[in-house]
Amino acid sequence: MTETLTVRNGIDVDQLLATIDAIKDDPNVASFTFHASSRWQEGTHNIGEIGRFVHAGHDDQTRDEPPVLLGNSKGPNAVELLLQAVGFCNAVGYVANAAARGIEVTQMEYDVEGDVDVRTFLGLAGPRAGFTAIRVTGRVASPNATDEQLQELCTYVQDTSPVLDSLANPIPVTTTLQIAH
């Protein structure tokens, strides 16, 4: 018997569909814990690691604030990484779901920007410490899908994005501080 492999947009569709079926058979298969860590260096400079995930590599990133916020711009700061996560999640969700639907994607880009007022962060009276608005602009090209199909897929991705869901809905965050002596 010959096995046929379907790869669309760099996504192994057969593996994608098998994963979906495995999750349908056992919802526990859908549970993952992803980790990120940040190690302070000096001032506002941190070294972060994203990874610690079975069968996945890791990507060491340097984080820092821009000079106006007392940093040295040695790398993206935490809110920039959050915005990057929105764009990355949208792009991955879009291309994977396009592949499952038989849509070929030849271009996919997301620009994400957000507004933050740092007064509260700095201990001053002001609005909330987090983003007050996030704007996402996506660009896609496909030779075999209609504008309506591409827009519907965009809506679907927004409705199913774990990152957007985490930003839009309150979630409990537990912080434990371990003090080293």
Q: Using a CB cutoff of 8 Å and minimum separation of 24, what contacts does 153-156 make?
A: 153/94, 153/97, 153/98, 153/101, 153/103, 154/94, 156/97
pLDDT digits (tens, 9 = 90+) for 137-179: 998 999 999 999 999 999 999 999 999 999 999 999 999 999 9
pTM higher than 0.85? no
pLDDT digits (tens, 9 = 90+) for 46-90: 566 554 433 333 344 555 655 555 556 677 778 888 888 888 889
Measuring CA to CA, how many Å separate 13 from each of 20, 55, 76, 122, 160?
10, 19, 33, 48, 18
pLDDT at 46: 56
pLDDT at 34: 53
pLDDT digits (tens, 9 = 90+) for 9-54: 887 888 878 877 877 887 666 655 554 555 666 565 656 655 443 3
pLDDT digits (tens, 9 = 90+) for 80-131: 888 888 888 898 889 889 999 999 998 888 888 888 877 787 777 778 888 8
Sketch the domain layout of the chain as residue ranges: 1-17+78-181, 32-76
CATH code at 1-17+78-181: 3.30.300.20
